[in-house]
Amino acid sequence: MAVQPLIILGGGLSGLAAGIRHARFGLPTVILERHRRIGGLNSYYYRHGRLFETGLHAMTNFAPRGAKSRPLNILFRQLKLSRKSFITHEQVGSEVIFPEQSLRFSNDIDLLRAEISRKFPASAAGFAGLINAVRDYDPFLPRPALSSRQRLSAFLPDSLLVDMLLWPLMVYGNSQEHDMDWSQFVIMFQALFLEGFFRPAGTIKDFLDLLLAHYLSLGGEIRLEAEARALTVQDREIKAVRLSSGEEMRADKVISTLGAPATMALLPDSLPGRSADYQGRMSFVESIFVLPAAVLKALPMRTCIFYNNHRRFDYCRPAELVDYGLGVINFPANFKGLAPHDTAQIRVTHPANYRLWRQLDSNRGGKRSSAYKAAKAEAVARCQAAAGEIIGNFPENIVYQDTFTPLTIERYSAKAQGAVYGSPLKIKDGRTNYNNLFIAGTDQGYLGIVGAMLSGVTMVNQHIL
Ligand SMILES: Cc1cc2nc3c(=O)[nH]c(=O)nc-3n(C[C@H](O)[C@H](O)[C@H](O)COP(=O)(O)OP(=O)(O)OC[C@H]3O[C@@H](n4cnc5c(N)ncnc54)[C@H](O)[C@@H]3O)c2cc1C
């Protein structure tokens, strides 16, 4: 009988990493990707001959080459990719800005430590204890959810500091509103504050090209414009994947990187737990402004600015289309040692309400409504004004701009309701009600580019090899 392959649903970063890990052992592997292009949330597109990245602001989990036990280097070893030829550029430094206080941080935790000692002296000792607690905690053991706010208040008497530490960690990977599960907090604290931000020397396209070429060289197969429509099941086993073309592909095992809600939609029944609990609510609007590179000289030299203008910080789906009072301003050119270009980008991200954007445009496939287009144009202008208040005005210098909304995210990824960080309920062991179906990617619990890739590798190691 012919050997059935491992079928991986989704050609985003977790799917590609899972594919490489499996194909490395000469095992038959097929990745199914519904779009024409790989990358998922982290892909690219062209406008006026210019390449735009859809997800990459900054990669988290920086590790110098020699640090063997750091996730980034483990990932490269597991994928049999050369870390030596993967050139990385560290952030120049980032800042959290609230109305009452600001905090700078870099890839050296001592900067944040010093800022806290100076600005929140009552919390300095507690912050040292918090770092130890994070280092000692294994966030991947399945455990009951624990409130980060509660845990943090035991370490840090300053509630403003708690909010200021939470905001960057939440916006980089929290699917829960208002609070954050302690395991997620530990993952994100490690990824952003203890390891830090970097960029590869090239674009996300270069990185995706590298991964795809490596996967193909190992004998892996990828099918683009191949949308999985249903999983054929028998006795708690997945037997085949049915594609939108009607074709049935038999499978030995299946890894889904589509997220819990989209995976459930392919099955005759639910995943463990209540299906409603898997639906994430956090989505975002992001505007990309392209400027002459010289303009950056007059703006703050930061990699990321996480600002909050509200008197009370809350991380949640806003009551209006976009919350301009909360934002992340990202400068992809501000990494140490990047080659100079004649233009540079500023990317500004705000929490947004999927439901209200959907009300403006109920059409899921074709052309967008005029109400949606008008709201999008207004969002660009307001986003520009909001960012200008924090970093100084830049509107007259814009060469090109683009914006995407929760509906764009939903259209180009598998994330229902544009919930970038997936489900608030994570399936940490990757298991489902089916013996040979496993979840990898955002809904397994790892987040970001490095996290998604590690998830793919871990699920292959734990369940397939
Ligand atoms: C605006 C934005 C900015 C971000 N910035 C950063 C950043 O700066 N740093 C960072 O580390 N992370 C960032 N992220 C997060 C990062 O992009 C994700 O965590 C990561 O890419 C998730 O990868 P994934 O493979 O798990 O999922 P996805 O990227 O969602 O991949 C799933 C894939 O499945 C495909 N698919 C869906 N349905 C089907 C189907 N039925 N059949 C076949 N294929 C299907 C999709 O097309 C997609 O390619 C950002 C995300 C966004 C949206």
Give DSSP secondary structure letters for 126-183.
Answer: HHHHHHHHHHH--TTS-----BHHHHHHHH-S-HHHHHHHHHHHHHTT--SSSS-BHH
The rounded Å distance from CA 258 to ligand 1 centre is: 9
**Ligand 1 touching residue 14 (CB < 6 A):** yes
Residues near 132 by beta carbon (within 8 Å), at least 6 away in sequence: none
CA distance 51 to 345: 12
If you ran DSSP here, which 8-state letter would residue 326 be given?
Answer: E
**Ligand 1 touching residue 60 (CB < 6 A):** yes
Residue nearest (by alpha carbon) to ligand 1 atom 27: 12
pLDDT in tens, 55-74: 778 999 999 999 999 999 99
The rounded Å distance from CA 420 to ligand 1 centre is: 8
Q: Which two tokens stand for residue 23?
A: 């194909």
Tally the C-alpha atoms within 13 A of residue 124's C-alpha that lie toward its C-beta.
Answer: 12
If you ran DSSP here, which 8-state letter would residue 393 be given?
Answer: -
CB-count exposure of residue 235 (10 Å: 0-12, 13-18, 19+): exposed
CA-atom Rg of the chain in angstroms: 22
Q: Is 241 helix (H, G, I), strand (E, B) or coil?
A: strand
Q: Where are the beta strands (DSSP E) in 262-313?
A: 283-292, 304-308
CA distance 41 to 37: 11
CB-count exposure of residue 139 (10 Å: 0-12, 13-18, 19+): buried
Place of tokens 């966030």: 139
CA distance 91 to 439: 32
C-beta of residue 335 within 8 angstroms of C-beta of residue 317:
no
The rounded Å distance from CA 288 to ligand 1 centre is: 18
C-alpha of 76 from chain center: 19
pLDDT of residue 10: 97
Ligand 1 mutation target, pool 7, 258, 347, most atoms within 8 A of CB? 258
The rounded Å distance from CA 87 to ligand 1 centre is: 23
Atom of ligand 1 nearest to the CA of 330: 8
C-beta of residue 246 within 8 angstroms of C-beta of residue 240:
no
Residue nearest (by alpha carbon) to ligand 1 atom 2: 55
The rounded Å distance from CA 98 to ligand 1 centre is: 29
Atom of ligand 1 nearest to the CA of 349: 1
CA distance 411 to 358: 12
Reported residue count of the chain is: 465
**Ligand 1 touching residue 9 (CB < 6 A):** yes
Residue nearest (by alpha carbon) to ligand 1 atom 31: 12
Atom of ligand 1 nearest to the CA of 421: 19
The rounded Å distance from CA 115 to ligand 1 centre is: 34
CATH tag for 6-63+202-277+425-464 (out of 3.50.50.60, 3.40.50.300, 3.40.50.720, 1.20.1560.10): 3.50.50.60
The rounded Å distance from CA 448 to ligand 1 centre is: 9
pLDDT of residue 366: 74
CA-CA distances (angstroms) from residue 409 to 216, 321, 422?
28, 15, 12
**Ligand 1 touching residue 208 (CB < 6 A):** no
**Ligand 1 touching residue 16 (CB < 6 A):** no
C-beta of residue 199 within 8 angstroms of C-beta of residue 332:
yes
C-beta of residue 19 within 8 angstroms of C-beta of residue 31:
yes
C-alpha of 36 from chain center: 21
Q: Is 14 helix (H, G, I), strand (E, B) or coil?
A: helix
pLDDT of residue 322: 98
pLDDT of residue 1: 47
The rounded Å distance from CA 396 to ligand 1 centre is: 33
CA distance 305 to 104: 9
CA distance 451 to 186: 13
**Ligand 1 touching residue 34 (CB < 6 A):** yes
- φ/ψ of residue 355, rounded to 5: -60, -45
C-beta of residue 117 within 8 angstroms of C-beta of residue 158:
no
CA distance 446 to 448: 7
Q: In what helix (H) or strand (E) does residue 47 lie, and over which residues does it extend?
A: strand 44-47
pLDDT of residue 107: 98
pLDDT of residue 277: 78
CA distance 392 to 344: 16
- CB atoms near residue 460 (< 10 Å): 29
- Ranges of each domain in the chain: 6-63+202-277+425-464, 94-195, 281-416
Q: Which two tokens stand for residue 153?
A: 């208040």
Ligand 1 mutation target, pool 7, 14, 20, 42, most atoms within 8 A of CB? 42
The rounded Å distance from CA 157 to ligand 1 centre is: 37
| DSSP symbols for 75-139 | HHHHHT--STTS-EEEB--EEEE-SS-EEEE-SSHHHHHHHHHHH-GGGHHHHHHHHHHHHH--T
**Ligand 1 touching residue 33 (CB < 6 A):** yes
How would you label 303-324 residue by residue, b for 16+ Cβ within 10 Å and e otherwise?
bbbbbbbeeebebbbbeebbbb
Atom of ligand 1 nearest to the CA of 415: 30
The rounded Å distance from CA 248 to ligand 1 centre is: 25
pLDDT in tens, 322-345: 999 999 999 999 999 998 888 899
CA distance 403 to 375: 11
Q: Is 200 helix (H, G, I), strand (E, B) or coil?
A: strand
pLDDT of residue 52: 86
- What residues in the chain have per-residue pLDDT under 50? 1
**Ligand 1 touching residue 12 (CB < 6 A):** yes
CA distance 292 to 455: 38
